Structures are given as structure tokens and as C-alpha cells.
A and B are shown apart, each in its own frame.
Chain A
Amino acid sequence: MALTDELEGLRSDTLERVARAEDLASLDEVRVAVIGKSGTLTSYLRNMGNVAKEERAEVGKAVNAARQAVEDALETRRTELAAAELDARIQAGAVDITLPGRAQQMGSRHLINRMIDELNDIFLGLGYTVESGFEVETDYYNFTALNAPADHPSRSMQDTFYVKDLSGDAASVRGESDVLLRTQTSGAQVHAMEDWELPIYMVSPGKVYRRDVADPSHLPQFHQIEGLVVDKGITFGDLKGTLEYVCRAIFGPDRRTRFRAHYFPFTEPSAEVDVSCAVCGGEGCRMCKHTGWLEILGCGMVDPNVLRMSGIDPEVYSGFAFGFGIERVAALKYNVPDLRMLLEGDMRFLRQF
């Protein structure tokens, strides 16, 4: 049985070579040499015709068994070597994952507009629309329609910027001009009361101007957001509930609010709203001047005169209005030490937000 012995020799020899193969390439060499087209084992198969008839079955079986064994061994070894090679590749590919990622710059939103975005979202959620209005207004929309007395100091050239009136009209209130840089965004609300259908639920965020020289706590231009609601059956409780919600939404759920009666020509009754101081939690500290409270906004029920001036019957409709300075809220929230930073455009400041 020399043939079967030969085959056995080839089989064991091949298995040994498979086991010795160190990489996929040399393993493939073994495959080609043994079971490739002209491989040693393949040649036995090819030469089966020369095998004596009575031995054929036995030899054939032995050849097939050898081939099966070789194929199995090749596959096993191939899997082993592939895994080892992948492993090596992975190991070689390891990086210092603490190196910085591929740099790409996301731009930043200006702090004030970030605050306005936040506020707009709060009010959109409450069902308000947002309307900003124009920055140059007439005296009527900025003061008169809001019940401000003709002699009110805020109307003076000292406090309000006036611009040249090119219409040729004679100024009715101030000396030279009835056209001014708005000192509040309330004008947008008067336009809304005149032009919109009721009910009105609106906020007007925007830039306003007051004649203050820029210093750490003043700017001649800053931002306000004012709100106006006019509907049937609006109560002071609604005003309170709305602003309490808004203050918590801005400053956090733990902050308390209090309403202090106050006076504004545009509203009656009027109040100022304080939020409990975040620094001391209401105990009193330097930040809140030892009162435990920070003044945030002014508000009140819309004065019937204001409604009437805009053609709304105060016997049928009531409403509330409120307004606050964005810069103040931002300064309180982020401890901005000097408001002028908001207008300098210093990249090192802007990119913090």
C-alpha cells in the first residue's frame, strides 16, 4: 500500500507546513503547492486513472480524506493568521486619543441676542408673537400714546436722542423735532394695538437708545424686551402668573419673585418685579445691596387711557404690559463687569458665548 502511505506522508507533511506558515502569503504558497491546479495532492486526483481498479476506491477515499484534512487545516490557519494580522494592524493604528480633534470653528452668538433668543422661545411657548418695530419713532408713539406727560423729564434733549425731522412739520412737543431714537420698544405695541386684530399677545425685543455716556453700567444703546397682552378678562393675577413663570424660566426654578407696587404712566396698577438674589439666595449680600432681591422688570395693567388712545374699549378689554432690560438680565446672569464689552467686538469676549 505504498500509495496510501505516500498520501499519509504528504498529508502529515502538509499539515506541518500549514502549521509553520507565519503569514497569509506563505500559507497561500502552501495551498497552491498542495491543492492548487498543479499541486502535489491535486496530481494524485488527476492520476486516479492510473490507479489499479480494485485500489481506486480506497485510494480515492484516502486522497479525498487528505484533501479535506489539508483544506480544514488551511482554513483554520488562515483564520488564525487573519486574526493575528488584524490584531497587529489595529495595534499599529493606535493613536494618542488625547490629541485634539480636527479643528473646525463654530461661530458664536452675541450674548444679548442669545438672551433674546431664550426670551423669544419662552414667549413663543406661551403663545405670543414677536414683533420688533422700528428704531426711529415719532414722539407720539414713543411717549404720547403711552400716556407720558408732555413735560416728562425723559422727553428732554438731555435724556432722549432726537433726529432731524425732514418733513417740514413744526415740532409739537420739543423744540426742534418730534422724531427720536426710541427709548423703549413700546412703540411697536402701540402700532399693534392700532393695527392688529384683538386679542394681542406679543413681545417686542429690540434696540433702544437713551442719552447716557457709555460707562461700565450704562450704554447709549441697549436692548429691551417688552410684552403686551390685550384680551377680554385679563386680570392682575394673569400678569403675576405670567411673569413669575418667565422669571423662573430665565433664572431657574428655585428663584422667588416679588411684586412691589410702583408707578409708570403706561400702566395702572403698576409694579416692579424683583427676583431673589442668586448669589446669597435671599439672605442679603453685596450683589443685591443686602436686600436679598434684584430688580428685574417693570409691569402693570395697561392704563385705560392707553387702550382708548388706540381705539380699544377698556370696558370690554383689559391687558397687561411689562418690560425689562436685556443687558441687565445678561449682566446679572453672567456677571459682565463692564457693559461696554458688549459693543467692542473683542473676539476673546464674544467666543465665550
Chain B
Amino acid sequence: MLVSLKWLSEYVKVPEDLQAFCDRLDLTGTGVEGVEQVGDAFANIVTAKVVGKEAHPGSDHLWVCQVDVGACNLDETGQPQPLQIVCGAQNFNTGDHIVTALIGAELPGGVKIKKGKLRGVASCGMNCSERELGLGSGHDGIMILPEDAPVGMPLAEYLGKSDTVLDLEITPNRPDCLSVTGMAREVGAMYQEDWADPLLDAAARLGLAGEAPADRVSVTIEDATRCPRYTARVIRGVKIGPSPDWLVERLAALGQRSINNIVDVTNYILFLYGQPLHAFDMEKLADAAGNVDVVVRAAHAGEKLQTLDGQERVLNEDMTVIATPSAGAVALAGVMGGLESEVTEETTDIFLEAATFQPGRTSRTSRNLGLISESSMRYERGVDDHGMLERSAAAAALMVEVAGGQVVPLAGEGFIDEWPQPSEAPHLTFRIKRFQEFVGADIPSSFTMDTLRRLGCSAEDTGEGTLEVIAPTFRPDLEREIDLYEEVLRLWGMDRVSSTLPASPHRVGARTPRQLINMKVNEVLRAAGLNETMTYSFAEPADVQRLRLEEGALGLAVEVLNPLNAEQSIMRQTLLPGLLRSLSYNQNRGVPNVQLYEIGTVFTATEGRKNPKERTKVASVLAGHMLARTWNSDPAAFDFFDGKGVLESLARELALPKVRFKALDADEAPYLQPGRAAQMLAGGIVIGWVGEVHPLVSAAFDVDGTVVAFELDMDALQKASQPARPFNDVPAFPPIEVDQNLVVAEEVTHEKLVQVMSSAGGKLLESIRLFDVYRDDARVGAGKKSMAYTLTYRAPDRTLTADEVERAHERVVKKTASATGAEVRG
């Protein structure tokens, strides 16, 4: 909201230090979003006096003038020095007071004043006409000021146009601050200064005259919840015309264009008191018999109204209209008047509405129609139903002043007043000590009482440690004791409260098991060289097809009712698509080596349930190499085993029991390349999958080359992980290692060989390490592979003898051969 400090200072003392004032506003809850100096348009334009005038030697119409600009131009000794200005005007003489633009000035039309020469004579400024200054249309010559005009005064100051306009952020709980008088009260409370309320004086000027229109005018409120109060006055015989300058300027300072004298008064009262008003052309409300029967009612569904902005609005029953039986809806209550009944140049009789409408409905109406007005903005925050007659009286009196006419008696008085639902001022108890304890500062009760009173409350000390407070009806936010605490604290100053830390001994900070698992997973993945990223939680329904999955294979998706775009219309069910998109993003920008992971939520809806199931997943995509080749290392391109290796590290770090990898076939994981896809299990719990992404899926996501990926379920990881590991003694006796080559058919898996060897080796076989896999049709045989293992034998309690190991190893080889068909070759 814009506030003119010039206007504001008529009612309260405004501090001279603008910066300090803005800071204090900021700190007490009224944010200052902008500061505009209105006089800026007249920078470097000053009042002046012609002290010399000679004909220009090279022209028959130009004059060479000496212009006194006072202290605006000084010589070396610091004495005022007249400026030489070449001027073409013919309407002035030596001794005239004029307006001069100095060098550096920019006229409202955009002309910049520079030092120059006119036909060979130097000119150091410009004498201005009214039109050049944007002050009127006079261009017969330069502007001549009265003889008593000062010399060398900034024009803005001389004209009284110097003003500062603040753009204030009024929080939604403070409708009272949406007016000049409301801000005057607030500033008074901020500085403990008294303020002068102009309302009583204004209302007192209202006199009634003319003939009562008997029963010609009536107001009916159909639904009091929609309209708690409606008042009307009638002003007859007005002459619509331009507003006086002072009124135009007041409104202009707040960015409000002047329309005509009547409408300008309604806007002026709106800005001054925060009371929205509407002036109807009364003739347009009257029926054939001349009766004006105004009804405040719900709009009919589909009812139409052309609003003042010329647009036809289709209404619904949630909206409230002002209507008459003959004309139908004539205004959208609280939001905007109707075009049909607007005040025009022909208008002579005014029906002046001052009312209050329900905030919620006004807000919805305004939003649903995309129509925000100065009125709706105030009504949706709450307009005080008390004091309304005084504000409307001030408006009526001002209308008579600027547009003539008479305020005529109505209903035996000067107004109609329907007030079915008066609001009540809340009576509150303020506990002084509790307040001090709550804030943690000894704010004296004298300050509290003074502050509450300045804010418009009545406050009486009961003498028993409490204040009895009645909050004003213009402060709908003051309903409870706590609301008063806020007022006193903010005006006392939050900066004056000493900083402490809570003293409670009853607390410990600790991470939950889930957070600890999450941390560990993050650590392992980073240690494995993976980089954490984040992708959108939204997904595209077509992602399921891109993953070569059947519709619904990932469960029921959570649908967003109001997505930003079709690509983000459901919530993701897997992290893979987002990561593949990021991979593509990198590849398209020439980054071939990509190692990304994300820990994030996936969502599954359930028929009949309100909230979807949320699960946390950890997923990764690897493409290219871990590192570019360097002078001393040459990393291999990522394949299945890089992904699996990461999972094995995770299994180790989380102490997952009995980890197994089970091959996934094309039906189980169609998004993975068959033969390079596995499910990870731990202790029988499915943890997730790892594999190389199916080339068709890569293509669907615009990704090149081999992509290794995995996705694990964090809850499953947490469930399977074992926080405490058993301790095993560090071996005290030496091992004996035996290398063993086994040639087996391709179908025999490493897992199978290890199983057989382990069970055959018994307790003495400590570990089995695969160190080579070799295939050669000639030397090993087609369809076969040679697997080379190092078997480590050790006893915990003695040094094994060669004989013991030989016997054990022979048993291992024999059993392995018979169970798997393995052949031993040199």
C-alpha cells in the first residue's frame, strides 16, 4: 500500500530521519518495500528572478538574460552569481520571478538541460513554461511567479509538491493499516506520539438540506452473514466535473488517476479511512415509479453483470450483489460497481453506499473472477462496521464541497442504516507477569497500557496484576490475550529482548535408526565414487512404457490434479527415469563419464486410501568410466560388476546377512538387459535390483552406451541391516593357501562352485577367492570356462600340517568335481 508522508504528517508527527523511520516500520511489522521521492521530477529546477535582459546580437527574437538563481550558482568567493540564459519568450521583463531549469535538469517531457550556445551566445540553463514543466497547458511564454516568490528554491518545494511516498507491505492481519488514518495511529503507537483523527471534524461539517424523498429509498439485506451492515446517503443536485487540484494531487501521490469529483471523493475517503464506498447514479437504480429499493442478496447462478472495467462477469451463488427489482444486479458487492449505474457527466443525484461485506466471500469472488480492486483488497481483510456513518458523513460532506448539491434527509435522518449484525468489541484480560515471562523481558506495565491505548484499545489496570482490555472493532486480529502480547512486544522492540537458550534438561539430540542407515548408505556410495543428485518427484505416465513395463506394473500411480505440465502429471514410482534423464543431459553436453545416485521418495496409491504409500529408494546410474585414463591408471568401462561391487560394499557396511544375487529374466525386469540383471536379497528379504539397462530403454531416454543401474529399497535395507556385528578373533596361526583351477561348463555358476567347495572344505577352509576366469575354445573347450580360485586353509588353534591341508583339499576337489562336473587341469 502506498502512503504519502506529506498526507500522513497532517495527522501525526513523522520523524525527519527517513531511514530511521523506515527501519522502525520494518522492525515493528510494517515492511517498507519501496521509497519514492515525488519531487524528483523537478530535480535541478528552481525559482529564479530575471535581473538583466538584452536583445541577442544575432537574432531578432531571442533575449540574453541574467537570471538570479540565488545560492544555486555561486562565484569563486561563494557569492550568488546570476546565470546567463538565452531565452526566446516574449512575455517577461527584468524583475519578473520565473522558473529556471539548471544544467543537469531533466524536464518532465524528457528534455535534458545542457550548457550550450545559441547563435554564438553561451546559455547556462532554460527558463520554463508551464507546459514544459508538465504543470498545465500554458505555452504562451515562460511561467511568471508572483512577486513574493523566493529566489533559488527548488520548484518542488515552492509548489509544495515535494513528498515521499512509501510502499508498505501490510500483513493480512492488519486491515486497519490500509488507510492513512490507520497508519497515523500506528505511527503514533510506534513513537508514543498523539495523532489527530480528522473524522469527527469532517462529519461535523455535514448539514442536511432539501426535501426528504419520503419513502422513495429503501435498503434490504437478505443474508446478514454476507453483509453485516449497509448504510446509504443521498446527495441531490451535484454537478459532475473535475476535482480541485488538492484532491487530484492527493490521489496522484498514491497512484490513483482522477476520474471526476464524486468518484475522486469515494477514493479519497477509501485511502483516508480505509472505508470502501460506492457512488451510484441514483436515477439508474430507480424503477419506473422513481422508487429506489436496494437489495443486498446472493447472485443467481449464471447471473450476468457488466462491471466498471467494461467486462461482462458471469456470477455464481457464492457471490453477493447489490440489486434492485427493476435493474437487477447493479454492483458486485465489495469488489466492483456495475457499468450501467456508474456516475457520468449527466448524473445529478448520488446514492452513496458505505457497507461491510463478508471477508471470505469477497476474497473468493475476487479471486474467482481475477478481479482485485482497492475495495476487495480491504473487504477481504475486514472493514470495521463501527464508525461507518461518520465515514460516510465525511464523504457526503466532501462531495457537497467539491460537487455542490445537498445531502437530503432519509428515514427521518440523513441516512439509511441496516445493521443486522453489529460486531462486538472483545473484552480481554492481560496478565502482566505472564506476559513478561512469556517474552522473557521485564516490559513495564505502564508501557503496555500506553501502547494498547495508542492502538485504540481501552486498558484499565485492575490492581491485581492484570489489565482489562477492550479491543477496538477495527482490529479483528485482537481476539485473544496472545494477540495483545504480540502488539506490545513488537512495539517494545524485539531487538530489546535478551537472547537466551531454552533451559530444559529433558532433551537429547539423536539420530533415528533410519537416519543412521541413510547416512551410511550415503557414505558408502560416495566412497564408491558416486555423486549424489536430485531429480523431480514428478513423472510422466509414459515412463512406464519407456521402461518396457506393462501398464500398472509399478502399482497405482498418484495422480496430480493440477500438474504444471503433462510430463509431470503423476508422482514417480521409481527413481530410474529421472536419473536416466540426467544421464542424457550430461551426455548431450559432452560429459561421457557419469556416476549419479539419488535417495528419494517414490509414491504408490491404493484404492480406498487417502494417503499414498511413500517409500524411500536409493538408485544409481553409471555410464562411461569412473575416471578418464590417466598417466598411471586406465579404468575399465563400467559394466554389471561395477554396480554389483557397490552393492557388495553396501552389504558389508550395513552388515547385511546372507546376501544373494539372483538372476532376473526378461519378464521379471524388462528394463534390464537379460543375462546382466540380478535381484539382491539379504536374509531372504528382497533389497532391490542391479543390472545393465536394456538398450531399448536407454534409447527411449536418449541415452548412449552401456548404462549400469541399481535401485534398492531403503526400508528393506534398514530391516535387513544388523547394527551389531559379531567379533571374530584375529587369526593367531598361519594360513596355507592353495590355488585351484576348475574347468566347468558355462552353466555352472560361481555361486554353485563356492557353495560346494565351502561345504566340502569344512571348518578348515577359511575363505575362497576367485582370481581368474578364462575362456578359450581350443585350450579350455567350447562352452566351458576355467575358474581359478585361491583357497585359504587355517585352523584357529594350531598350525596346520601339509598333510592335513592336502587331505582337506583333495576332498574339496573330489566333491566339487562330482557335484559340478568340474575338471582339474594343470
- What residues make up the interface of A, taking CB atoms closer than 8 Å to B? 99-100, 102-110, 112-113, 123-131, 134-138, 149-151, 153, 156-157, 161-169, 176-179, 181, 199, 201, 207, 209, 211, 213, 220-221, 229, 231-238, 240-242, 244-245, 258-263, 268-271, 301, 303-304, 318, 342-348, 350-351
Contact = CB atoms under 8 A, between A and B. Distances in A.
B509 A124 contact: yes
B564 A237 contact: no
Contacts of A150: 360
Contacts of A127: 507-509
A210 to B, nearest CB: 11
A164 B558 contact: yes
Interface in B602-660: 603, 605-612, 614, 626-627, 630-633, 635
A103 B635 CA distance: 10
B112 to A, nearest CB: 26
Contact of B27 (A162, A234, A260): A260
A294 B51 CA distance: 54
B458 interface: no
B489 interface: yes
Interface of B: 26-29, 31, 171-174, 359-360, 363-364, 367, 437-441, 480, 482-483, 485-486, 489-490, 494-495, 497-504, 506-512, 515, 522, 525-538, 556, 558-564, 568, 571, 579, 581-583, 585-586, 589, 591, 593-597, 601, 603, 605-612, 614, 626-627, 630-633, 635
A242 B509 CA distance: 15
Contacts of A131: 512
A261 B532 contact: no
A125 B510 CA distance: 9
Contacts of B363: 151, 153
27 contacts: A102-B633, A106-B526, A107-B532, A107-B597, A109-B532, A112-B534, A134-B611, A135-B603, A151-B360, A163-B558, A163-B559, A164-B558, A164-B561, A164-B605, A166-B556, A167-B609, A168-B608, A179-B611, A181-B571, A213-B564, A221-B538, A229-B502, A232-B504, A343-B534, A344-B585, A345-B583, A350-B532
A346 B504 contact: no
Nearest to B529: A105
A254 B561 CA distance: 47
A179 B359 CA distance: 26
B437 A242 contact: no
Contacts of A241: 498-501
A304 B571 contact: no
Contact of A123 (B499, B509, B556): B509
Given A100-B631, A213-B564, A263-B171, A166 B610 contact: yes
A131 to B, nearest CB: 7
Contacts of B591: 346-348
A110 B579 CA distance: 14
Given A107-B527, A127-B507, A238-B501, A166 B608 contact: yes
Taking each of A107, A135, A176, A344, which has the highest tally of chain B beta carbons within 10 Å of its own beta carbon? A107
A235 B439 contact: yes
A332 B511 CA distance: 28
A57 B609 CA distance: 113
A221 B537 contact: yes
A134 B612 CA distance: 10
Given A113-B534, A153-B367, A343-B534, 4 more contacts: A110-B533, A157-B562, A220-B538, A263-B173
Nearest to A303: B482
B631 A268 contact: no
B714 to A, nearest CB: 12
A344 B7 CA distance: 52
Interface hub of A150, A240, A270 (most chain B Cβ within 10 A): A240
Given A136-B614, A163-B558, A199-B507, A345 B441 contact: no
Contacts of B605: 163-164, 166
